[in-house]
Each structure stands twice: as structure tokens, then as C-alpha cells.
Amino acid sequence: METFVIEQTENEKTLLRKDVFRPWPKTRRFVKVCLEGIKRVLFRVGDDWYFLFALGVIMAMISFTMDFTVSRMLNAHRWLQQELKGNMLLRYLSWTVYPIALVAFSTGFAQSITPHSGGSGIPEMKTILTGVILEEYLTIKNFGAKVVGLTCTLAAGSTMFLGKVGPFVHLSSMIAAYLGRMRSSVTGDYENKSKEHEMLVAAAAVGVSTVFGAPISGVLFSVEVMSSHFAIRNYWRGFFSAACGAFMFRVLAVFNSEQETISAVFKTNFKISFPFDLPETFFFMILGAICGVVGCAYLFCQRWLLGYVRINRFTAKLLSSDKPVYSALVALLMASITFPESLGQFLASRLSMKELLTSLFDNRTWWTLSQNASLERPAEVDPNNLWLEWANPQFTIFGTLLFFIIMKFWMFILATTLPMPAGYFMPVFVFGAAIGRLVGETVSYIFPNGINSDGVINPIIPGGYALAGAAAYSGSVTHSLSTALLAFEATGQIAHILPVILAVLVANAITQKFQPSFYDGTIIVKKLPYLPRIRSRQINSYKVNTETFMNTDVKVLSTEASFDDVLMVMTSSEDLEFPVVENTESLILVGKVMRSQLRRFLETHESQQHLQMSDSKITCQGTLKDGCSIEPVTFQLSTWTSLHEAHHLFELLSLQHVFVTKFGKIVGSVTRNELRKAIEGLANPK
Amino acid sequence: METFVIEQTENEKTLLRKDVFRPWPKTRRFVKVCLEGIKRVLFRVGDDWYFLFALGVIMAMISFTMDFTVSRMLNAHRWLQQELKGNMLLRYLSWTVYPIALVAFSTGFAQSITPHSGGSGIPEMKTILTGVILEEYLTIKNFGAKVVGLTCTLAAGSTMFLGKVGPFVHLSSMIAAYLGRMRSSVTGDYENKSKEHEMLVAAAAVGVSTVFGAPISGVLFSVEVMSSHFAIRNYWRGFFSAACGAFMFRVLAVFNSEQETISAVFKTNFKISFPFDLPETFFFMILGAICGVVGCAYLFCQRWLLGYVRINRFTAKLLSSDKPVYSALVALLMASITFPESLGQFLASRLSMKELLTSLFDNRTWWTLSQNASLERPAEVDPNNLWLEWANPQFTIFGTLLFFIIMKFWMFILATTLPMPAGYFMPVFVFGAAIGRLVGETVSYIFPNGINSDGVINPIIPGGYALAGAAAYSGSVTHSLSTALLAFEATGQIAHILPVILAVLVANAITQKFQPSFYDGTIIVKKLPYLPRIRSRQINSYKVNTETFMNTDVKVLSTEASFDDVLMVMTSSEDLEFPVVENTESLILVGKVMRSQLRRFLETHESQQHLQMSDSKITCQGTLKDGCSIEPVTFQLSTWTSLHEAHHLFELLSLQHVFVTKFGKIVGSVTRNELRKAIEGLANPK
């Protein structure tokens, strides 16, 4: 029909003559063809891109809305505190009741919907990405619980000292899974395991990048934390989605007039012409070592406490039946300590998490400032002089920083035991910044005129140390290097790149040597499936063959297996899939059959038997071959495969269960359990 | 002996009493024990770290020395030009003869030592990392040829418009291979394939990072360009080594008084309080699209010309017999064009590569500058006003920039055909910066007071566009995203992160759709083994089974094979390894045997036969089983493995040749050739 109209140029000309505003028909037709070509190309690129774009934008909007809500709630609390200036008791009550109520509600709400919504979610996501199926973690029910719970947690402010990175990774994954299901229901495509995996990897990147507005480090951090290998094609997807998310997140801030233009989340203003002197590199490396040691101590204590609250009679009882009460009690303790009229004045407790970080990244030297200003604490927090919250005439800034570090060390460990949605990255980042600030202020106190004071005075910038400390400490706790980049992206300055990287490397070297990462530690405590890594010095892993550690007790089914054979195998083993062999003598592997298939086989067979028994006396001779679909085995190990290769394959291909064959015969099977034991055997040889 | 001395505390005390400057014997002993503990720990971490450290430091020293030599040679040339002010002919001669001599020497020297030293080396390294063995590319002979040749190439300056990234990746890999051989000869460890691979991956990162002093993007760029998958453990090694290299590289610059302290290689000075306005993001995306389109055109022309010079009678003859003459002729053409008194004055040809980049990243607006200053070209290049080289009263800066872009487009393509050691990344980076600068200057010309000119004037910074252009164009040509990060690390400013990433994404989306990357293109032209990627929309790859594309013509050997059987198989096939089966009827795969083993078997067998024939008439019945070591097959495909899975496995495990079995019987084999054909079959279904 359309071509017919186009060919009728005569008619068209008449139409054109009527419409004086549409000149150049040929050009317009050309443009039209071009546009259609572009449209076709765009649609051919595949809906993946639309999907990733949507994921980024949705997460950015959620992140922005949550930040907005939380900041309003924090302001309301601050206003209340100011209004109650006269009455100390009322102030104390308002200071403590507010976080208690929020935390108790967060715990109660999240736990009542689903017990899986507690904690950060990254350990579980990491387990899912290794191929283990934890369906309930990605349901949309979980989403609501996590969003509401997290908002309340964050609104409790720096009293609770918790963040949002982990839950955002989890939220993002849930949305990706949901969008994926929606897409496959619309397009009618069959659900694709590897596609799903790709999307989850991208989702993790989006989660990180929408919190910090940091696209590159979002991708890198999620890759480092979540997986042991990654494909460059996934890196692309993550990059695209994270860039969309971060861009949207920052644009929303501009639209909301929070900022004049797109800029870093925690913008700094260091002197970039001379950021640091060469000898300072040494202090940065010492800072890295300090962060590494403190990181080890933190990881050890945290794992110990997580285990202890499950053993201790009192807490275990509370945690099993009255989770909100447990949360409320912890919140009461924390809020009492941070009450600004008591110990809180040495903890800068009036600052929110964001203000804490901004104040620590201050480009000025606090020690110099504190000598030239009155240290009278203002009645309200002064946004341009946040450092005043840290100043104290008796304690000096060194005292407050040290006190902050000591107190927050155990308070944060205690906070991680709370069973509510919360992220643990941001507090670690702030804590690291405080360590860095302390070291930086000390160095600047020792060398007030800079180190090379010949002629030009280049004073030391303690903010740079805070940056390095934040990157090194968070890197050491999470066993990742990309926190260095995260620090630059979040602050918008990259001048300190080399010393920060050195600090992160030193901190990581120490922690990786002595402790598993925060996320691995949680996986171990929560008893999720976990595959330890093979260290490069364990060269025995090349020499140990699959034959020595495989599970040889494999129940096989022949293609001719009868009802009774199947029943016997089913009752004697809990495996999810069974190997099918040609016959029980030759043991040549021909395929596998799922447990669910076998169950159905038994059911239909049973009913047939019933039917036939009533009919006649001839028993049905239905065999496995006829009653079940036998799936082909696309991948198998050989008995000569080394432990190193097997480990590599399990990691690369996210395998869970593999059959081992020798000359085509099945001789065993390997799961992550066998592998784990074999690797542990390498580390502790008898 | 030592323990004995320690136990003799009485003696020790006497010794201590004599030595008054050594108090606290217990403390010192404690410290000593601690130090020994640390030493033990450090050595237990493994020599990997020392090795990586050495690699980084050596490459940094080579890079610094080369930069130093090149800058001296360029200065000498510049001085000569200035001294010859009076005589135009002499100036022309000195301008042209200098690069001609250097280029001809570079070509002749490198080619006379080894023909493999030409070009960038990245395509070959990429092929090596996929598991193909190209021994001769990593010999130390190649190293000398490449270092000397590259120094001469770089000393020819911006006339030749070539860089050093690619050769540095190659050099670094050669050093890593050499150090690896040295280590295994010292420690007596058996040479380890996977360890070697890990080291080469780290070496690639070191190569990039020591050129730009950019550790993070060095790692990322090398990962993106070199491999399709990577392991996080390799990422660490690369990071450590690259950080050492970059740090050393910058420290050397400080020691040489080039710089006051450690800072970026191409330091910029943009206004970071307001780097860009929100609507400018749109222009950045247009810039990305322009870069993508130009990138496509460049890649197409480059591949065409590379092929054409091999077909054209004249150039083909020159390239086969007189490579230096070919180089000299091209250099003569280029130098004549860039002669500063003729066309060169519109090409800023007096600037070196580094000055070109620094001038393009200038934070000032050239258009504004050029209206307030006299555009008289200074007799010498003014280091503080490099932009004057771009200014021209008649042409205006827009004219010179456009002319530069057009001329350098084909001149650089011509330069890539030269058979001498040279890198192609830096010129691409500079070219992209020029495109970006042109767009930036145009935008700033259209909106002289910034876009949102209500009240505060925030002028547009064309330098930011130059940054984005450099990242986007180099990203599109190399198909990588980390060029964005490279641009930040090299300039020391990260404020433009979001628009730059958007530009890079847009440029990449366009180029990846229509052209293979620069490195893949070279691999295709050079006919190196190459595995195309499966696009995500080719979902048929999940449905095609190995059975349909495997090579079924497999020569098998039974364990009982005799001399004649082996001889027949050897003569009928060129394969490097042969499957060994139980017997030729059952075809059950029991192992494999290498061609070299078979050759030895034939040789020994032959001599035995001769021996026995002279002895008696009884012929030897030696079979394969007795004469050869049959290696186990640790990995095999099944006939049901999908194309997607097979491709994935080949990429992940760097496979070259895999046997396909069905119920334990060998039915075929798959190499990268079969896979490539199958993937091409997906793209062009009949």
C-alpha cells in the first residue's frame, strides 16, 4: 500500500503543493530511509542495551530518592534536637528514641517479609554468581523489604554508622532478575542461564556505581568482589549500565538544584600543583601498613563476634525470636554513647555519614586551623566548618580522631550483627579516612612547613592521607584494589594516584596474607558454599589428579533400568542428577537424568502399574530409556585432570557437579565439596 | 655452629661489655627474631613478587632512558634548524634528511636482526596469549632490535607521527619471558605454562603503564586489548607490577629535575569547580559519534592500505627486498609535507608528539586568545604558548585544526605500513585530541559565554573536549573503554569523567558495530590465528552442536599400532598430536601422543629394524604402547557441546586442539579453524 503511494509521484506533488512548509521531497525521503535504517540497526543491536539502560536509570532513581528521603529525615531529627535546646533529658530522649525506633522498625519490617533481606546481600550474590541457586534471594518481595528497611537504617544516621553499597548491589540484582523474567515473558525467548549470569554481573556494577556516582570503579569493584574471573563482554555491559546509572544519579542532583553541574559526590579541593612531596610516599606506605593491620584485627573480631552472638545464650535467644528487640537494645547502647552532650562530643556524632567523609577529606590542616580559631563548638553544625565538630580544646584533634577510631572499631563490629538491611562498605571507608586523617595530621604536625623546606614551602595536605586511608582500609577489608579508583572518582581528584595505590597495595598484601575478605568471612560464617582459592605457591595443585580426590561412590542407572532400580537409586542417594550408563557392566556414560525426571518416572510408572494390575496380570516392562528424557553430558572431567585444572574449570564455568570418566566409563564425580577438601588438604598436608 | 655461639651467653656478654654502643641485648635479639620472621614470610610469599617488581623497575628505566635520549635528539634537531635560519635550502635538507636517515636506519637495523621486530607487536602478543606458540617473538635478540629501532623511530619526531605503547608491551613481554627462563634455570622449577601466561599478562600491563605513568588504566587497557577473559589473580599481579613501574618512571623524572614532585605525564590545569555544564553532555556525545565514524573510516582505510602495499607491484617489490628504501621514501614525502616553511606551518609541525598533546589539552580557549594577541609565529617554539603554533592569521585555528586532521589521517595510515618498530596508540590519541579540540573550539565559538549565561559566566573549556576526543577516538580504534581512564591518569584530572565516558561509549558502539579493532584487523591482515567473537544476538550458537562442525577426519592410532601404522598416519596428516585408542574397532580414547614422540618412535624403530635384519630374520613387533609415552587426555568435548560452550571453553582455556568423544569413543576433533568457520556460518547462514 505504501509503495503504491510513493510511486504516485503525481499525486504526491499535488499534496506537496498544498503543503508549502514541506520542501525538498527527495531529501526528506532520503532522511526518512536513513532514519529507518538507523532504527533497524538499533533494534538489531538487541534489546540487551535497552535493558541495561533501564536497569541503570531505575537504580539511579531509587538511589536518588532514598538519599533525598534520608536527608529529609536526618534534617528533621537535627531540627528536633535544636528545638529542644533547653531540656537535656528531652534531648537525650529524642537522640536515642529516634534511631531505636527506626532500627527496630527496619529489623521488624524486613524480617517479617523475608528473613533473607537482612545484611548486605553481597556474600549471597557472590555465591549466586558462582552458580549456586538461591532463588529466594532474588524475589521481588525481598526488594520491598530491603528498600524500606534500608531507608530506615540510613535515616538512623551516623549513630548506627551503616551504609548502602551492599544492599544496592542486592537491589540491583533483584531488579535485573525481575526485568529478565519480564523480558523472557514478552519476547518468548527461552530463559537462558548464561544471559542471566551476564545480567547479574552488570547489575552488581550498577549497584556500586549508583551509590558513589562512580562508573569505572563501580564495575571494577563489583568484578573484584564478586567473581574470580571475568569476561570482557560482561565488562562492557557493566560499563554501559553503570555509566547510565551514574550519569542519571548525578543529573538528578543537578535537577534538584543540589549542585550547579555534574560533579563528584564528595568533591574535594586539594592543591593539585603540588599534591605531595616524594618523601611523603614513605608515610603513605606506613599508612597502608597500619590500615592492613587494623583491617586484619577488624576482620578477625568481626567474624568472632558474628559467631559469638549465635552461641551466647542471651543474644542467641533474642536473635531467634525477638530480632527487633535485639536491634533496639544495640541502638540504645550506640545512641547513648554518641549523645553529643556526653561522649558524642569527642566522636563528631552530630555529623551525618556524608558530612563525616566530607570533613575528613578537608583540604585544610586541622591542626593549623585549631590554633588560629576559637574552638567553641557551635550550637549547630556549620556546613563550611565541619572540622569544628572534631576540635576539642582539651582533647585536641588528635585525641578526638583517636577516640573516634577506637570507639567506632567495636561499635561498627557490633552494628554488623544487626539483622536488618544495611551496607558495610561506607562505614569502612569513613573509618579508613579517619585513620588516614590522623596519620596525615601527625605528619603535618611533625613537618609544619613540608618536608623539603628549602625556599618554597609546600605544606602537607592531610586530606590526601585521608583519601589514601579510606582507599587502603576499605581495600584491605574487601580484598580489592579498585577502592583506590573509587576514592578518586568519588572525590573528583586523581593527583594522589601513585601514593594511594601504593598504600592500597601494602594494605592488601598484609590482609590477604592473614585473613579472608569481609565477604568471604561472612560466607564462611553463614555456611554458604565456598570454594577457597589456590595460592600460587601451592604448586602441588598441578600434581594432584582428580582420581585421588573424586567421589567414587556414584549411583549409576543403566538405560534399561526398571522401576525397582530407579527406586533403589533414588532412596539411596540425595544427588540432584544421576549418570546414565549403557549397561551396568560396561559403565559407558551416555547421559544424565535429573532427580525430578526420575520422580515423575516413578509416579507415572506407579499409576500405570495400578492401571495394568487391574487390567491384567502382565507387568509393565517400561525402562528408563522409554520413560525419561536422558540429557546429554556436555562436559566431563578425566581422571588425569589435575586439581589446579579442575579448580580452574569449576571457577570459570560456574560448575556444581561434574562426572569423571576414564576411557568413557564413569568412575566418579566431583562437587565443590570434594574440591574444597582437596585444596584444604594442600594447605595442611598430613 | 650458629646455635652454639648463641648459647654461649657468657661469651656474648663479654663481647657486649666491650661494645658500649650496643645496649639492650634482649631487645635486639627480639628484633632480630622478628626481622627473621618477616624475612621468612616475605620469602614464603614467593619470588613472584620480586620478579614482578624487577619487571616494573626495568621497564620504567628503559622507558625513562628512551624518553631522555629521544628528547635530547629532538632538541639537537631543533637547535640545528634554528642555527640554519638564513638558508632555506639547508633548512629543508636538515628537516628532511634527519628523519629519513633515522627511519631508514631503524628499518634496516631492526629488519637485519629479525624480521619480527617490525610493527607494534600487540597483535602478535594477543595471539600468543590465546595459546598459540610464536617462540621467535619473545627472544632476547628481538629485544635489542626493538629498543634501538624504536629509539630512532621516536627521534624522528612528530614528522613520522608514531608512538611507543605497542613496542613497550612487546618489550615488556620479552623481558618477562627472559626473567622467567632465568628464574626456572636458577630455582630448578619445571617450566610452567600457566605461570608463564600469568607473567605475560602482567608484562602487558607494565608496558602500557610505564609509557603513560598510569598504573590502573595500564592494567585495564592491556586486559581489554589482549584477552577475552581474565582472572582476578592476574589483575593483581599486573597491578602490582604496573604500580612499581609507573612509580619508578615518575620518580626518575623527579630525580632528573624534570619535575618538582610526582605528577601526571601530561599535566593539565582545568577549572575544576565548574568543568562543564549539563547541556554540554550532548556535545560530548556528538563528539563521541564523530570519533566513532572517523574511527571506522580510519580502520577501513588502514586495512585496505596494508593489503594494497602488498599487492602493488612497486611497493611490494620494495617491501620484499629494500625495506629501508621504502621507509626512506615515505619519510621523504612526510618530511617534505611537514616542512615548517611550507605546508608544515598549518600542521604545527614544529611541536614534538608530547608538545602536540600538551598544547591540545590547553585549558585556555584558543579562539579567545587568538583575538587578543598578535599571531606572529615566533622564531622558536614558545613552551608557555604552544598554541601559537596552531594560530594562523588567514587560516584561523579552525582551519589549521581541520587541515591537521585531514592531512594526518592519511599520513598516519601511510606511516603504519612502514616495517619498523613503532607504536600506533599515541598518534591515535593525539589525532583524537585534535578532533576533540576542533569540536570544543567550535562549541566555545558558538557559545562564547557558556551555555547557561544567566548571571554567572562559565566559559566552555575546549581542553575538556580534547580530552574526551582523545579517549573516544583511541577507544574506538582499539575497541576499549579504559582509554577514558588513561586520559584521566595521564592528565591528572578526573572532573570530566561522565561526559568522557559517554563519548567513549558512543564511539565504541559505532566502531564495534562496523569494524574489527586495530589489533584484530592487523591479525586478520597478517593471517595469524584468530577466533571471532560470538555476538550476543547470535543465539543460534546455543543450538549448534559440536557434532555438526567438528572435523570427523581424525587419524587414530591404536595402542597396538606397528611401525607401518604409525608411518601411514604420520604421512597422511600434519596434526601435531594424535589420539590413541584402545583398538581400531572400539575407538575408545585412552590418550594422545605428540608428533615429536612418534617421530622418535619411528627413528628408534628403524634403527632397531636395521640392527635386527643384520642379526636375524625375525622382525621386531614393537608397538606404540611400548615405544612411546602416551599422555592422558585431561580435557575432551562431547558431541552435544554447543558451539557457544565450545567457543567459551576455547577462549577460557586457551585451547588449540581438542578431541570430541561420544560414549568414550573418539568421533572427531575441533581446532580454532573449525570454530571460526562455524561462527562465520552463524553470521552468514546459507
Whether residues A310 and A354 fall in one domain:
yes
In this predicted structure, what is the pLDDT of residue B265? 79
In the prediction, which pLDDT does B454 show?
63
CB of A639 less than 8 A from some CB of B = yes
Evaluate if residue B151 carries a pLDDT over 90.
yes
Nearest-neighbour CA in chain B from A108: distance (Å) = 39
Task: Select from B277, B278, B590 the Cβ nearest to the Cβ of A663.
Answer: B590
Distance of CA A670 to the CA centre of its chain: 29
Distance from C-alpha of A554 to C-alpha of A573, rounded to nearest angstrom? 9
Among B255, B273, B307, the domain-final residue is B255
Q: Which of B216, B278, B542 lies at the smallest CB-CB distance from A254?
A: B278
**477-506 in chain B: CB under 8 A from chain A:** 481, 484-485, 488-489, 492-495, 497-499, 501-502, 505
Query: Is A197 contained in some domain?
Result: yes
CA B408 remoteness from chain centre: 22
Tell whether A536 is within 8 A of chain B (Cβ): yes
**A48 inside 8 A of chain B by CB:** yes
Over the stretch A276-335, which tens digit does the pLDDT of each residue have?
888 899 999 999 999 999 999 999 999 999 989 989 999 999 888 889 999 999 999 999
pLDDT: is B667 or B261 the higher one?
B667
* Cα–Cα distance measured from residue A5 to residue A7, given in angstroms and rounded to the nearest whole number: 5
Task: CATH number of the domain at B638, please.
Answer: 3.10.580.10
> A304 with A168, same domain?
no
E strands, B539-583, are 557-558, 577-581
Q: Is the pLDDT of residue A1 over 50?
A: no
As a whole number, mean pLDDT of residues B43-61 equals 81
Per-residue pLDDT reduced to its tens digit, A508-560: 999 988 889 999 998 888 888 888 877 766 677 778 888 888 888 888 888 88
Is there a domain that residue B633 lies in? yes
Q: Which residue in A47, A228, A232 has the most chain B C-beta atoms within 10 A of its own C-beta, making it the best mutation to test that interface?
A: A232
CB atoms < 10 A from the CB of A378, how many? 10
Mean pLDDT of A233-247: 89
Helix (H, G, I), strand (E, B) or coil at A82: helix
Distance from CA of B600 to the nearest CA of A (A): 25
Question: A11-40 pLDDT, tens per residue?
Answer: 554 444 445 566 778 888 888 888 887 776
Quick one: pLDDT at residue A235? 82
Query: Hey, are the CB atoms on B638 and A638 less than 8 Å from each other?
Result: no
Q: Is there a contact between A218 and A208 (Cβ–Cβ < 8 Å)?
A: yes
Same domain, A248 and A184: yes
d(CA B476, CA B436): 14
Cβ separation B481–A235 shorter than 8 A: yes
Q: How many CB atoms lie within 10 A of CB B610?
A: 10
Nearest CA in chain B to A45: B537
Residue A121 lies in a domain: yes
Residue B456: Cβ within 10 Å count: 10
- As a dihedral over the C-alpha atoms of residue B397, residue B398, residue B400, residue B406, rounded to 10 degrees, the angle is 160
Same domain, B39 and B96: no
Q: Tell me how many domains chain A contains.
A: 4
| Poorest-pLDDT segment among A273-287, A490-504, B18-32 | B18-32
Helix axes A232-255, B497-514, angle to 10 degrees: 140
Provide mean pLDDT across the span A387-412: 90
- Has residue B301 got a pLDDT over 70? yes
Do A450 and A580 belong together in one domain?
no
User: Letter for the amino acid at B650?
Assistant: F
B21 touches chain A (CB under 8 A): no
CATH number, domain with residue B182: 1.10.3080.10
Taking contacts as CB-CB distances below 8 angstroms, the residues of chain B near A632 are 638-640
Give the pLDDT confidence of B601-638 residue by residue, as tens digits: 888 777 666 655 555 444 445 677 777 777 877 778 88
Enumerate residues 121 to 160 of chain B having a beta carbon within 8 A of any beta carbon in chain A: none
What phi-psi label fits residue B587: left (phi over 0), alpha (psi between -120 and 50 degrees) or beta? left
Is B498's CB within 8 Å of A663's CB? no
Contact assignment for B652 to A495 by CB distance below 8 Å: no
pLDDT band at B95 (very low <50, low <70, confident <90, very high): very high
Instruction: Tell me whether residue B31 is exposed, middle or buried, using C-beta atoms within 10 angstroms of its C-beta: 0 to 12, 13 to 18, 19 or more.
Output: exposed
- Residues A231, B231: C-beta atoms closer than 8 Å: no
DSSP A652-677: HHT-SEEEEEETTEEEEEEEHHHHHH
**A502:B247 CB<8 A:** yes
Provide the pLDDT for residue A543.
Answer: 80
- Residue B25 domain flag: yes
Residue B481: inside a domain: no
Tell which of A57, A501, A517 to mutate to test the B interface (max B CBs under 10 Å). Answer: A501
Count CB pairs under 8 A between chains A and B: 220
What's the half-sphere exposure (Cβ side, CA atoms, 13 Å) at A367? 21
B542 interface with A at CB cutoff 8 Å: yes
- Tell me: do B101 and B243 sit in the same domain: yes
**Which residue in A has a C-alpha nearest to residue B223's C-alpha?**
A232
- Out of A198, A481, A498, the one facing B262 most closely (by C-beta) is A498
> Considering chain B, what is the average pLDDT of its residues?
84
Length of chain B: 686
CB atoms within 10 A of CB A531: 17
Whole-number CA gyration radius for chain A: 31
Q: Do A230 and B232 touch (CB under 8 A)?
A: yes
Flag whether pLDDT at B438 surpasses 60: yes
Helix or strand (DSSP H, E) at B517: none
pLDDT of residue A302: 93
Instruction: Indicate if A611 and A595 belong to the same structural domain.
Output: yes
Pairing verdict, β A637-638 and B657-662: unpaired
Indicate whether A447 and A560 sit together in one domain: no
Domain span holding position B202: 48-255
Per-residue pLDDT at A618: 43
Give A533 to chain B, closest Cα distance, Å. Answer: 10
Identify the helix (H) or strand (E) that includes residue B659. strand B657-662
Q: Tell me which of A685 and A499 has the higher pLDDT.
A: A499
pLDDT for the residue A611: 59
Q: Which of A50, A272, A508, A660 to mutate to test the interface with B (most CBs of B within 10 A)?
A: A272
Cβ B109 vs Cβ B147: under 8 Å:
no
Specify which residues B230 forms β-bridges with.
A230
Q: How far is B324 from chain A (nearest CA, A)?
A: 39
Beta-carbon separation of B489 and A481 below 8 A: no
Instruction: Provide the pLDDT for residue A4.
Output: 44
* CA-based torsion, A90, A96, A98, A104: positive or negative: negative
Q: Please state, in angstroms and rounded to a whole number, the distance separating the CA atoms of residues B235 and B209.
A: 14
Report yes or no on A344 lying in a domain. Answer: no
pLDDT (average), residues B441-456: 81
Q: Is the pLDDT of residue A403 over 90?
A: yes
Confidence class for position A95, pLDDT limits 50, 70, 90: very high
Both B232 and B97 in a single domain?
Answer: yes
Write out pLDDT tens, residues B403-429. 999 999 999 999 999 999 999 999 999
pTM: 0.88
User: Domain check: are A656 and A598 in the same one?
Assistant: yes
pLDDT given at position A453: 55
Given an 8 Å threshold on Cβ–Cβ distance, is A45 in contact with B281? no
Residue B511: pLDDT over 60? yes
pLDDT of B535 reads: 72
* DSSP 3-state of A29: helix
Q: What is the spatial distance between Cα A418 and Cα A416, in angstroms, rounded to a whole number?
A: 5
Average pLDDT over residues A84-105: 91
pLDDT of residue B327: 93
Flag if B537 and A582 touch (Cβ within 8 Å): no
Is A274 contained in some domain?
no
**CB of B598 within 8 A of CB of B566?**
yes
Q: A495 and B264: CB-CB below 8 Å? A: yes
Spatial distance between the Cα atoms of B578 and B592, rounded to a whole number of angstroms: 6
**Chain B residues near residue A292 by CB distance under 8 angstroms:** none
Q: Which residues of B touch A260 (CB under 8 A)?
A: 274
Nearest 5°: phi and psi at B668?
180, -175
Same-domain status, B110 and B245: yes
Query: Cβ A233–B495 below 8 Å, yes or no?
Result: no
- Structure confidence at residue A612 as a pLDDT band (50, 70, 90): low
Measured torsion, CA atoms of residues A103, A105, A108, A111, in degrees rounded to the nearest 10: -70
A3, pLDDT greater than 50: no
Residue A616: pLDDT over 60: no
Write out the DSSP string of A454-499: SSS-----HHHHHHHHHHHHHHHHHT-STHHHHHHHHHTB-TTHHH
- Identify whether residues B19 and B110 lie together within a single domain: no
Closest Cα of chain A to B218: distance in Å? 13
- Reported as a pLDDT band with limits 50, 70 and 90, residue A5 is very low
Query: Chain A 225-244, CB below 8 Å of chain B: which residues?
Result: 227-233, 235-236, 239-240, 243
Per-residue pLDDT at B7 exceeds 50: no
Supply the ipTM of this predicted assembly. 0.86
Number of Cβ atoms within 10 Å of the Cβ of A612: 13
Picking from A479, A502, A525, the residue at the C-terminal end of a domain is A525
Determine contact, residues A108/A324, Cβ cutoff 8 Å: yes
Q: Is B609 on the interface with A (CB under 8 A)?
A: no
Give the nearest partner residue to A240 out of B493, B505, B633, using CB atoms.
B505
pLDDT score for B325: 93
Residues 49-78 of A with CB under 8 A from B: none
**Mean pLDDT value of segment B658-665:** 84
Q: Are A221 and A211 spatial neighbours (Cβ–Cβ below 8 Å)? A: no
Residues B201 and B5: their CA atoms lie apart, in Å, by 48
H/E element, B607? helix B595-615
Is residue A81 in a domain?
yes
Return d(Cα B190, Cα B211) in angstroms, integer.
33
State yes or no: pLDDT of A118 exceeds 80.
Answer: yes
B159 has a pLDDT exceeding 50: yes
CB spacing of B494 vs A498 below 8 angstroms: no
pLDDT, averaged across chain A: 84
Which residue in the block uniquely carries the three cell numbers 635479639?
B29
